[in-house]
Amino acid sequence: MRPRHLIVNGTETPAADGRTTPVVSWTGAVLTQVAAAGPADVTRAVDAAHAAFPAWSALAPTQRRAVLLRAADLLEERAEEAVRLMAAETGGVRGWALFNVDLGARVLRDAAAVTTQPAGEVLSTDAPGTLSLALREPVGVVAAFAPWNAPLILGLRSLAVPLAVGDTVVLKPSEDAALTSGLFLADLLHEAGLPPGVLNVLTNAREDAELVGSALIADPRVRVVNFTGSTKVGRAIGVQAAQHLKPAVLELGGKNAVLVLADADLDKAVAAVNFGVFNNSGQICMSTDRVLVHESIAEELTAKLAARAKSLPHGDPADPGTALGPLLNPAAATRVAGLVADAVAHGATVHTGGGEPDGAHYPATVLSGVTPRARLHTEEAFGPVCSVLTFSTDDEAVALANSSDYGLSTGVLTADGVRGLAIARRLRTGIAHVGDQSVNDEPQVPFGGVGSSGYGRFGGRWGVDAFTTTRWVTVAAQHTNYPF
């Protein structure tokens, strides 16, 4: 792969100080080099985004729409290239990468539809003869931080609606997916006709993430921050944004529970939970991490889930038959192995999997009896690992589900939809699915969490609200009726 530079004002440009940083594959192989941005590059990128804003925001909405629709088509045309890139960079298996292409294209097309939606409302007013308007307007420059784990979807999610409403963007992709969550996407959009400066991409060395991120958030011309990633980093980003009085959308980690009630169809529940836990090797913010099962079916469900997990084709992400690919890198697999070992040391039982990693590979693992002293009890697994916990009443199930500080997504599996809905409404998560597991995403929904899973919503009109500002504007013949 050819070395890449920053994208500033539509042009590939080396970092101001000429530094570069490697793009490392899940195997540890160096794929290429990218530029390592510093504070001077942040200023250059914001200069470009700020300068591009007046023309981009004034462009006919149908022209912005055309760029986004063309980019969606190009993404689909380049699906095979995207799949290869994702497999090489992050270890994502073919099915997961194709899902990223499909949903990424939908994210672009839904954003395209936003361009022709009403840009405000006419309000009622007590002032006679006055037209009172709520005008929705673009904010200016948006700073976007993307994670590595669903790089096409989440890179695009961080920029598509901002571009649609007329904002310009400086994107800081993950160091672990600089190509797939950043440069590849910018290439598509520029080929689709995006004018120079509307989207700028700052790749960085890992050790400079804070330096680059802080400089970006602090630049007074940046108006809104959106961040998708870990709770630890998101908390720091949120504090910085607040210090500068900038709104932020923070989409963070999860410790998602699926509740399996006693009346659930057992085989269907096993299939659902298996998908929720092991899709992308458990490296999804919505991954099912905790399986809460009614005590009467816990033994049978655990045995069936363990058997199914053990049979998942495991191996090379480039092999189309692989269901369970590697983790991001050997360090990620070592971290997951450490969480499992700690759970076992604190009394957990391993039903399948566990043990030592093999490079970046870790086996599908089903545990029960994870006690509160184990790190896995509260920490996001972010690997192919789930903990089965039991309950005896609906109240107990709800209390267990709500005992995590995280609050992203939940599922409730039951034959009784009314009871399922009653439970779902008591769950303290931004997302809840009755009749499904926890991993679901669509661009038109209010996607986001509560508590340690963050705040703000991507998607639909909620995403539009996040990246626009609403102004009250009135128009009247000159008023004359003043009290003094």
Question: DSSP state, 229?
Answer: S
Residue 80 annotated among the catalytic residues of the structure: no
Grouping H, G, I as helix, E, B as strand and the rest as coil, residue 373 is coil
Q: Cα 208 to the chain's mean position, in Å?
A: 22
Work out the number of other CB atoms within 10 angstroms of the CB of residue 212: 23
Q: What is the dihedral of CA 451, 453, 458, 461, to 10 degrees?
A: -20
Among residues 45 and 397, whose Cβ is nearest to ligand NAD? 45
| Residue 459 CB, nearest approach to ligand NAD (Å) | 10
Given the residues 89, 175, 251, 380, select the one marked as catalytic. 251
Nearer to ligand NAD, 167 or 380 (CB): 380
State how far the Cα of 317 lies from the Cα of 44, in Å rounded to an integer.
Answer: 38
Please say which residue, 167 or 251, places its beta carbon nearer to ligand NAD: 251
Nearest to 189 by CA among 293, 86, 111, 301: 111
Find residue 13's DSSP bridge partners.
6
Instruction: State how far the alpha carbon of 328 is from the alpha carbons of 151, 176, 226, 427, in Å.
Output: 12, 8, 23, 31
Q: Name which of 256 and 390 has its Cβ closer to ligand NAD.
A: 256
Identify which of residues 422 and 450 has a Cβ nearer to ligand NAD in the complex: 450
Helix axes 298-310 and 266-278, enclosed angle (nearest 10): 50
Q: How far is the CB of 52 from ligand NAD (least distance, A)?
A: 22
- As a whole number of angstroms, the longest Cα–Cα distance in the chain is 83
Cβ of residue 278: shortest distance to ligand NAD, in angstroms? 16
Cβ-based nearer residue to ligand NAD, 180 or 302: 180
Range 177-207 burial, b when 16+ CB lie within 10 A, else e: bbbbbbbbbbbbbbebebbebbbbbbbbbee
Tokens coding 198: 């509307």
Q: CB 471 → ligand NAD: shortest distance, Å?
A: 29
State the minimum distance, in angstroms, from the CB of residue 20 to ligand NAD.
16
**By the criterion CB under 6 A, which residues form the site for ligand NAD?**
145-150, 154, 172-175, 209-210, 213, 228-230, 233, 236-237, 251-254, 285, 380, 382, 408, 449
CB of 283 to ligand NAD, least distance (A): 7
Asked if 248 and 259 count as a contact pair (C-beta separation under 8 A), the reply is no
User: Could you list the active site residues?
Assistant: 251
